[in-house]
Structures are given as structure tokens and as C-alpha cells.
Amino acid sequence: MDENLKKAIFNAVENEPFAQKMGMKLVALALGYSKVEMDYLPESMDNIYQRAHGGVIYSLIDEAFETSCQTHGTVAVALNVNVSYIESPEPGARLTAEAKEITRSKKIAHYDISITDDGGRLIASSKTIAYRTGKPIPFYK
């Protein structure tokens, strides 16, 4: 993967308001691959049952998806995201989302994404499909 592109994606995530608000950190990036971490903070991320809100888990999946899709240097957007929620994380758990590109054509790419906690327990898994626009990434020059 182009090192300048890698730096541009890392920088974009560091400056992304939503990622900052959720405490997400991009920790690894390679061609078709991304790893993003976040701490599960019940005081701001719980649902009405005092468990992790599904939107929090989805958001972490989406950040890993977003970053892994851009590693080819062109804008890619979500066509479909299918999430299976498996376990609820424990309060304070460090969550890690790993996105891996499975297939890629000129216009479509498929990704497998998993979220695990700091004990290696599977929290959620996702199958995603991206539409590859072919347009250059605007923040990469």
C-alpha cells in the first residue's frame, strides 16, 4: 500500500469528528485491511437495558469498513452492511474491529469484519459490500 495514502487515511481518522467522539483509533492499515479500536464506555454507550447499544457496535464496524475500503486510493461507499450481534461486551472492554477484503472488482468489493473484546471473545461479525466509485480520495493528494 502507498505510504502517503496510508498516512492520509490515518490523519483523516484522527481528525474525523465522529471517530473522535466515539474514541475510535485506527491502529493498523494495509491494502484491503483495517484494524480500529475503541473502549466500550457504558455511561455514554449503553442502551435502555444497560448493555452496549447496537449503534455503537455498528459504528465500530463501519469505521473499519470505511478505512479498509479506501486503501486502494479511490472512494468506496457502503452498498450493504449485514451485522450479526453475538455477545454484549463487558463494561470498559477494549473492542477491536478487523476488516478484511475478500473480493474486489472494478466496481464492487466484499469485506468480512469481526469485533472482538480484549479477551478475544467475538462480539459481532459483519459481511459488507462496497461500491467503488473510481473517484480519487479528496483528502489524498
Residue at 44 is within a domain: yes
- Residues pairing with 96 in the sheet: 37, 116
- Residue 11 within a domain: yes
CB 95 within 8 A of CB 37: yes
Q: Mean pLDDT throughout 114-124?
A: 98
Tell me, yes or no, whether 74 lies in a domain.
Answer: yes
**139, three cell numbers:** 483528502
Check pLDDT > 80 for residue 97. yes
Residue 12 lies in a domain: yes
For 17-54, the pLDDT digits (tens) are 999 999 999 999 999 999 999 999 999 999 999 999 99
Q: Is residue 89 part of a domain?
A: yes
Domain that holds residue 27: 3-136
Instruction: Count up the domains in the chain and report the number.
Output: 1
d(CA 15, CA 67): 13
Encode 30-98 in three state secondary structure.
Answer: ECCEEEEEEECCHHHHECCCCCECHHHHHHHHHHHHHHHHHHHCEEEEEEEEEEEECCCCCCCCEEEEE
Average of per-residue pLDDT across 100-125:
98
Domain at 110, CATH number: 3.10.129.10
**What pLDDT is recorded for position 105?**
97
Sign, CA torsion 80/95/11/1: negative
* 79 domain residue, yes or no: yes
Is 141 domain-assigned? no
DSSP state of 123: E
Confidence tier at 141 by pLDDT (50, 70, 90):
confident
Q: Is residue 51, in this structure, part of any structural domain at all?
A: yes
